[in-house]
A and B are shown apart, each in its own frame.
Chain A
C-alpha cells in the first residue's frame, strides 16, 4: 500500500506544473473564458500551446518514445493529466489524446501508427470522436451510418450528432455499419476519416453553455481502405476497449479541486448578512462535503490508473467508478455552490453584479453535458452487469418486447 508518489514522479509533476503555469497566460481564467466557439486569436493560441506541450512530451507522456511520448507508464501519464486538469485548460485535441490515439496504438497497423500518432503526440492534429447518431446514443451499436467497400475505398453515408470539438478537426474517429448482422454490434467497423474529405458537411449545434457540438453529415464520403482501424466488423468491441482510457481520468477531480479551492476563497471574502459565508455552519458543511466527493473521485481515478499500470498482474476489475463519480459530482457541485449564492447565483459571467465572476453559473450549465462515454445510468448498468454479474434481459428479446408493446390490431 502506498498512496504517495516516487521522488522521480514528484519531479515530473513539478516540471509539468511549472510548464503549465509559465505557459498559461495571466489573463486566462478557465471558468470565465468560454473555451468554445473559439475566435481566430484563441484558436491560434491554443494550437500553439498544444504544440509546445507536445514538444515537451506532456500530451502523451505515457506513449513510447518512438510514438512521440516520454516512455512513461500510466502513473506518470496520470500525474501530468492531473496537473493539466488543475489548470482548468482543455486540449483542443482531447478526443485524439484520450480516445482515438490509444485506439490507434492498440489496434492500428504499423503504417497507421506512423501516419497518425505523431500528429497526436506533437499536438498538430485535431481529432473528433464521431460515434453518436440520432438513433444511436446509449445504444451505440444501432449505427445507421453505412460503409460500403467499393474498390479501394469505403463509401460512408449517414449522420453523426453531438460530436465535440473546440477547433476544426483534421480527422474523425468514426463508427459505421459494414454488415447487417444480428446482434447488431457484430457488423460495425472503425474508420479514421480525413475531416476534409469531400462529402462531409458540418453543422454547429446550439447546446447549453453555447456548445462545442456538431452534426456531421457523410454523403458518399470516400475513405481509403487502409483507414479501416482494427478488424472489419469488430469496431464496436475495439471502441469499447478504447473507452477504458477515457474513463479513468485523473484530470477531472483536479479540475474540480481548483474550482472548490477558488470557491473557498470566495466564501472567505464574501459577506452575507454581515458575516463571511465561510463562517456559516451550513456553508462549512457543504464545502467540506464537496471536498470529500472530490477526494473520492481522485482516489477512484488513481485506483483505475494504478490497475492499468499493473496490467497482466492483476485480474481485471470489471468496473470503474471514475465516470460514475465524475458525472454525479460535476452536476451536483455547481448546483450546491449556486444554492449558496442565492439570487446572485444566476448571474452569468460578465453580467453586472455577477459574483465570483459568474463562474458557477457557467459550470452549472456545462454540467448538463455529462453524457459522453455513456450516461450515468449506462455506467450503473455496466457496474451492475459487468462488475457484479447481475443479469439483464438478453438483447435478442428486445425486438420481441418492442412488438408486444404495439397496440393490437383487430
Chain B
C-alpha cells in the first residue's frame, strides 16, 4: 500500500503545474472557449517542447518512455488548468491506438510527428444513431461503412461529437467493413487524411464551447495501407485505448475538481455576508465537506485504476468504477461550487467556475457516461462468487425465535422479563 507519488512523479507534477500556470492562464482558457478554433498552435508547440506529447511513447518513436502514472499526473494538471488542447484526442486516443495496433512503418512515421507537435489527430467514432446512450462506445454503434473498391476502401456516413476534428491532420475513423457474427467482428480502423476529398467538418455548438464536430464522409477513398491494425479486427485495440482514455479523463476531472474545491473554499473564507465570512455557516460547510468527499473519492478510484493499468493488472472493475463515479461526482462537485459562489459562480467574465462546470459536462459524457460504465461494472460484479461458508462445527445456538432469546446478563434479562411480563398481563386481561 502506498498512496503517494514517487519523487520523480512529484517533480513532474510540480513542473507541470508551474508550466501551466504560466502558459495556460484563465484568460487563455476563456479566449479559447470563444475562439472559432479553440486551439493555440503556439501552446501546442510548447507542450511538445516540454516532452508531454510523446510522454508515454517509447524513445524509439520520439517519446520519453514515461509510465501510465506519469501520463495521469500530467492529465490531472491539465484538468486543473483546463488546458484547451487536443491532447486526449491526439496523444491518447489516436496516438496510443497507433502504438498499440499500428505497423512498424506507421509507428515510425506518425508517432514522432505527434510527439513533436507536427500532427493533430482526432478519433471519429460516435455516430448520430448511437449518440443517445452508451451504444456510442459499443461496437453495435459503428455503422459507418467502409466498402472495398479495387485496392482502396470507400467510406460513407456521418460521425458525430468528434472532438478536435476541425484542426486535425488525420482522422482515425472507426468503420464497419463487414457484418460479423458479433458486433465487434468487422470493425476496422482507418487513418484518413483530414483533407481528403469528400470529408466535411462542421463544428457543433456545445455546452463547453469545446470543439466537437459533425464529420461527414462522402465517398471518401482510403488506401489499404491506411488501416491501423488488422482488417475487421480493429475493435480490440480501440477498446483498450478507450479505456485508457476514460481513466485519463478521470484524472483530468480529479485535477479540475481539486481546483473547484480550492476556489470554493477560498470563496467561503473571503466572501462576507451578515458581517461574517459565509464559510462560518454550516450550510456552506456542508457543501465544502461534500466537495472534499467528491474529489477524494474520485481521486482514489481513479488512481487505483491508473496504477493497475500501469502494472498491467486486470482492472475492468476498477476502470468502470472510476469513470462511472467520477463523471457524475465531478458534476456534483461543480454544482456544490455553484451553490457556494452563487452569483459570481454564474458570471463568466470574472469567475472560472462556469468554465469548469461546462467542461465537466463534456468530460462526463465523453468516452462513456455513468450509465454505460455502471452496466459494465455490473457485468463484472455479477460474477462475484458468494462469500465462503464458515466451516466451524454447527452449534445450534444462534437460530432462536424472536422473544425466546433469553439474555444472559442481568440488565438485558431484566428488560426481557419486563417485556414478557407485560405481554402475559395483556393476554390475561383480554381473557
Interface residues of A (CB under 8 A from B): 1-5, 21-29, 32-34, 37-43, 45, 75, 86-87, 167-168, 202-204, 206, 214, 258, 261-262, 264-265, 268, 278, 284-285, 287-289, 291-292, 295-296, 299-300, 302-303, 305-307, 309, 314, 319, 321, 324-325, 348, 350, 377, 379-381, 383-385, 387-393
Query: What 5 additional pairs, Cβ within 8 angstroms, besides A288-B374, A302-B3, A303-B296?
Result: A22-B391, A28-B390, A264-B384, A380-B286, A384-B289
Distance in angstroms between the alpha carbons of A319 and B289 in the assembled complex: 10
A337 nearest CB across to chain B (Å)? 15
B179 within 8 A of A: no
Contact code string B114-129 (vs A, CB < 8 Å = 1, else 0): 0000000000000000
Contact between A303 and B292 (Cβ–Cβ < 8 Å)? no
Contact between A303 and B300 (Cβ–Cβ < 8 Å)? yes
Contact between A26 and B394 (Cβ–Cβ < 8 Å)? yes
Nearest-CB residue, chain A, relative to B296: A321
Chain B residues near A377: list those with CB within 8 A.
Answer: 282
Contact pick for B300, options A23, A24, A214, A296, CB 8 Å: A296
Contact pick for A33, options B382, B398, B415, CB 8 Å: B398
Contact code string B177-207 (vs A, CB < 8 Å = 1, else 0): 0000000000000000000000000000000
Contact between A390 and B268 (Cβ–Cβ < 8 Å)? yes
Closest 3 CB pairs of A and B: A384-B285, A24-B390, A299-B300
B241 nearest CB across to chain A (Å)? 22
Contact between A300 and B300 (Cβ–Cβ < 8 Å)? yes
Contact between B406 and A27 (Cβ–Cβ < 8 Å)? no
Distance in angstroms between the alpha carbons of A197 and B289 in the assembled complex: 43
B324 within 8 A of A: yes
Contact between A300 and B282 (Cβ–Cβ < 8 Å)? no
Nearest-CB residue, chain A, relative to B385: A261
Distance in angstroms between the alpha carbons of A202 and B386 in the assembled complex: 41
Interface of A is mostly: helix
Nearest-CB residue, chain A, relative to B402: A350
Contact pick for A284, options B289, B375, B402, CB 8 Å: B375
Contact between B289 and A39 (Cβ–Cβ < 8 Å)? no
Chain B residues near A75: list those with CB within 8 A.
Answer: 1
B323 nearest CB across to chain A (Å)? 10
Chain A residues near B273: list those with CB within 8 A.
Answer: none
Contact code string B121-160 (vs A, CB < 8 Å = 1, else 0): 0000000000000000000000000000000000000000
- CB-based A-B contact count at 8 angstroms: 219
Contact between B325 and A296 (Cβ–Cβ < 8 Å)? yes
Question: Can you show 21 pairs from A to B with CB atoms below 8 A apart?
Answer: A1-B69, A4-B311, A25-B390, A25-B392, A27-B398, A29-B398, A33-B399, A37-B407, A40-B406, A258-B387, A288-B377, A300-B297, A325-B293, A380-B282, A383-B289, A384-B285, A384-B289, A390-B269, A390-B288, A391-B277, A393-B280
B378 nearest CB across to chain A (Å)? 4
Distance in angstroms between the alpha carbons of A160 and B361 in the assembled complex: 51
Contact between B395 and A319 (Cβ–Cβ < 8 Å)? no
A132 nearest CB across to chain B (Å)? 17
Contact between B381 and A5 (Cβ–Cβ < 8 Å)? no
Q: In the complex where A3-B307, A261-B386 touch, is A291 in contact with B292 (Cβ < 8 A)?
A: no
Distance in angstroms between the alpha carbons of A300 and B296 in the assembled complex: 8
A197 nearest CB across to chain B (Å)? 16
B421 nearest CB across to chain A (Å)? 14
Distance in angstroms between the alpha carbons of A392 and B288 in the assembled complex: 14
Contact pick for A390, options B285, B391, B405, B406, CB 8 Å: B285
Contact pick for B408, options A22, A43, A383, A391, CB 8 Å: A43
Interface size of B by CB at 8 A reads: 76
Nearest-CB residue, chain B, relative to A167: B409
Distance in angstroms between the alpha carbons of A329 and B412 in the assembled complex: 30
B342 within 8 A of A: no
Contact between A28 and B388 (Cβ–Cβ < 8 Å)? no
Contact code string B4-32 (vs A, CB < 8 Å = 1, else 0): 11100100000000000000000000000
Contact between A40 and B293 (Cβ–Cβ < 8 Å)? no
Contact between A321 and B292 (Cβ–Cβ < 8 Å)? yes
Chain B residues near A278: list those with CB within 8 A.
Answer: 382
Chain B residues near A262: list those with CB within 8 A.
Answer: 386-387
Q: In the complex where A300-B297, A388-B292, A390-B279 touch, is A202 in contact with B398 (Cβ < 8 A)?
A: no
Contact between B325 and A202 (Cβ–Cβ < 8 Å)? no
Contact code string B311-351 (vs A, CB < 8 Å = 1, else 0): 10100000011001100000000000000000000000000
Chain B residues near A325: list those with CB within 8 A.
Answer: 293, 297
Contact between B321 and A26 (Cβ–Cβ < 8 Å)? no
Distance in angstroms between the alpha carbons of A45 and B276 in the assembled complex: 58
Chain A residues near B313: list those with CB within 8 A.
Answer: 4
Distance in angstroms between the alpha carbons of A392 and B289 in the assembled complex: 14
Distance in angstroms between the alpha carbons of A380 and B290 in the assembled complex: 8
Contact between B415 and A324 (Cβ–Cβ < 8 Å)? no
Chain A residues near B2: list those with CB within 8 A.
Answer: 1-2, 306
Contact between B377 and A291 (Cβ–Cβ < 8 Å)? yes
B308 nearest CB across to chain A (Å)? 7
Distance in angstroms between the alpha carbons of A296 and B1 in the assembled complex: 15
Contact between B292 and A202 (Cβ–Cβ < 8 Å)? no
Distance in angstroms between the alpha carbons of A254 and B364 in the assembled complex: 29
Contact between A388 and B288 (Cβ–Cβ < 8 Å)? yes
